[in-house]
Amino acid sequence: MIKKLYKNIISQKRAERQDELYRNLIRREAKVGGTLFGPIPAGVRREFFCLDERTWVWHEEWTDKDGKDQNVTTRYDVRSNGVIKTQNGQHYQMVSPDEARNLLVAANLYGQRIKTQLYNVA
Share of the chain above pLDDT 70, in %: 97
More confident residue, 36 or 5: 36
> Is the pLDDT at 4 greater than 80, yes or no?
no
Alpha helix (H) residue ranges in the chain: 2-34, 97-117
Residues 23-32, mean pLDDT to the nearest whole number: 94
Q: Render 38-72 in DSSP notation, one character per residue.
A: SPPPTT-EEEEEEEETTEEEEEEEEE-TTS-EEEE
Beta bridge partners of 63: 69
